[in-house]
Structure 1
Amino acid sequence: MDPTAWHLWLIAAIVLGALEIKLSGFVTLWFAVGALMASLIAGAGVGLDGQLVMFTLVSTALFAASRTLFKNVFMRDAVHLKTGIEAMLGQEAVVMEALSDPHGGTVRINGELWMARSLSGPLPEGERVTVEQIEGLKLWVRRPSASHEVSLHQQQRKKETVGWD
């Protein structure tokens, strides 16, 4: 039995545990537990190969199990956070430069000016619109009531083709 092997594994476990406290990513914690287990079997007289196998197996198993556990248990109800352009879909904007059919105009959304085209005919300056689509750097907008009317019309058409009453 090598009297220093278990000391080295114990020091590694303490250092990895301290790193976990500093980094807080639930990664080095599992390696610290693996080093602690390797320290225990080193103290029992198992050779270096067995210590390395124990460290690797324990660390890998705990790491894989924790990622699966966190994903399936703690993140199952997590909502996908929409950011950037994806967050603008369905948001309200204000027409800053009238939207005419051939050229479009400008709308303000989230404090930024965007080029826009109307899906519901010409729109005067100051009107509130809803962002329906994004194509490159251009927003396609429509009056909020127009998008509601279209969805009702689409629902009615779906009922007729399916045969609902």
Structure 2
Amino acid sequence: MNDIDAWVWWLIGAAALGIPLVVTAMPEFGMLAVGAVAAAVMAGLGFDVVVQVLVFAVVSVALIAVVRPIATRHRSQRPRLATGIEALKGKQALVLERVDGGDGGRIKLNGEVWSARSLDTDRAYEAGQEVDVVDIEGATAIVM
């Protein structure tokens, strides 16, 4: 055991912390692994065990205290750019053929002609009116 330098043990510890990071996808293990790498650097520079453990603890705690809240906030934010069907919801469209809740009709949405039906089955929209797209069901826009 004394034949292996301390920095090697710290790197083995970092690799061991990387395994649960990959398996559980918990970033805290990665932050602890970075702390172990920092301790390995201190060991490689010749610092004693007390300094190595202190560097491991300080780097790990600092990463968890600073990076984790940023990552959590970033993960909880909705994407800023809506794409696909989500991008069409809330857009305005022009009625090309009468749209009602039964047979539906046609609208021009984002330069394309879509089949559409009214959200309110008792409501109809005549050609030339502007409507708001509230949902997309298959290839049919639901408007109001």
TM-score normalised according to structure 2 size = 0.51
Structure 1's unaligned 5+ residue stretches are 11-28, 143-165
- How far is 1:68 from its partner? 1.5
Matches within 5 A, 1:105-124: 105-118=105-118, 119=120, 120-124=123-127
Summarize the Cα distance change of 1:112–1:2 in structure 2 as closer, same or farther, 3 Å threshold.
farther
TM-score normalised according to structure 1 size = 0.46
- Pick 1 or 2: higher relative contact order, CA cutoff 8 A, min separation 6: 2
Equivalent pair of 2:115/2:141 in contact (CA under 8 Å): yes
Matches within 5 A, 1:42-53: 43-46=46-49
The partner residue of 2:139 within 137, 140, 157 is: 137
Equivalent pair of 2:6/2:43 in contact (CA under 8 Å): no
- How far is 1:141 from its partner? 1.0
Query: Could you report, residue by residue, the CA deviation over 1:22-79 in whole angstroms, capped at 9, with x for unpaired residues?
Result: xxxxxxx955554122221452354xxx88xx76x6675455331214545xx5xx66
Structure 2's unaligned 5+ residue stretches are 12-29
Equivalent pair of 2:6/2:40 in contact (CA under 8 Å): no
Give the paired residue count: 116
Summarize the Cα distance change of 1:83–1:62 in structure 2 as closer, same or farther, 3 Å threshold.
farther
Over aligned residues, Cα RMSD in angstroms?
A: 4.2
Percent of pairs identical after alignment? 33
Q: Which segments of structure 1 move beyond 6 Å, counting only runs of 4 or more?
A: 1-4
